[in-house]
Amino acid sequence: MSLRFLIIFLTGCLDFSNNFTIDRDGDGLSIYQGDCDDNDVNIGLEECTDKDGDGQAQAEGDCDDSNPKVYVGAGYLDDATKCMLDKDGDGFGDNDPPAWVLRGRDCDDDDPLTHPNGTEVCDGVDNDCDEEIDDEGSADAQTLYLDGDADGFGRDNLGVSIKSCVSVEGYVENNEDCDDGRETVNPSASEVCDGLDNDCDDLTDSEDDSVDETTGFVFYVDGDGDGFGDKSQEGVYGCSLSEGLADNEGDCDDGNDEIHPDALEICDSVDNDCDQKIDDMDVVFVFFMGKEVVFYGLTFRII
């Protein structure tokens, strides 16, 4: 085989053009020369160059190749296939971007903690982009309790409580009121004799050592248990009548249970009925048919 034949053969068999050098769309550029889409004459070097360094060129979907925060997938938590602006890098697209950029759901694209998946807290900001600020769902919202009697103490009932970042009229921060229908009953009230647990300590009236017994009644010592108190002694205050006391002071001899205002006056040189008269005209002894008859005023009985 001659050398001339070999050269002709090789020349006829080799094609020095390839996919990198062919300009299919006729825009004067091949793939090798930077044409990233050699099937579209409108896409050339300008559209194929990533000017802002965000990893995408205009031809690859970057709708603002002058801003590295704008590219397809920037707002991937909104839509990974769309070109959005995400300035704060939280994965949500700006909801107020330039006109040529697709709108996302991030209501504050300068704060990475504010977005639709954000945690609402009491800070005067719409952290979760639901168009509500410091709503009752805020993580640090305080539980407020209904104060029906306006005494500053709330009802211990979660069913009528609310969550709020701010104070609300008719609600308070505590749930210490044991009777939210009486403004005089609450932990700051004084215990008095009225049958109620005024200071909410589960003790009522005299059960509570702090009770003001002067708000109750005056009782007198009844040493002989005849139901009449010793009028020679000062009365004592109490919420209720207890053993050894009487609610009156009429007994003139508290050592003898047969001497008291309701006793019968008899002739024994004693003031039996405590009227400061001894053997007075209230009683007369006579004998009738062998029986002793005692007259009391206009009545009598046979004894």
Q: What value does the mean pLDDT of the chain take?
A: 86
Residue 2, pLDDT > 70, answer no
Contact of 32 with 48, CB cutoff 8 Å:
no
- Residue 249: name the closest of 280, 296, 217 by CA: 217
Q: What is the mean predicted confidence (pLDDT) over 67-78? A: 96
Contact of 77 with 88, CB cutoff 8 Å:
no
Distance CA(53)–CA(58), nearest Å, equals 11
In which band, very low, low, confident or very high, does the pLDDT at 40 lie, cut at 50, 70 and 90? confident
Q: What is the pLDDT of residue 287?
A: 45
Q: What is the mean predicted confidence (pLDDT) over 43-65? A: 85
Domain ranges of the chain: 216-246, 264-303
Distance CA(277)–CA(247), nearest Å, equals 23
Report residue 146 as tokens: 């209904």
CA–chain centroid gap for 55, Å, is 50
**29 or 139: whose pLDDT is higher?**
139
CA–chain centroid gap for 115, Å, is 26
249-291 residue pLDDT tens: 888 988 898 888 888 888 888 988 898 888 876 654 544 455 5
Bridge-based pairing state of the strands 83-85 and 162-164? unpaired
Q: Is the pTM of this model over 0.75?
A: no
Distance CA(5)–CA(24), nearest Å, equals 33
Write the burial class of residue 262 (CB in 10 Å: 0-12 exposed, 13-18 middle, 19+ buried). exposed
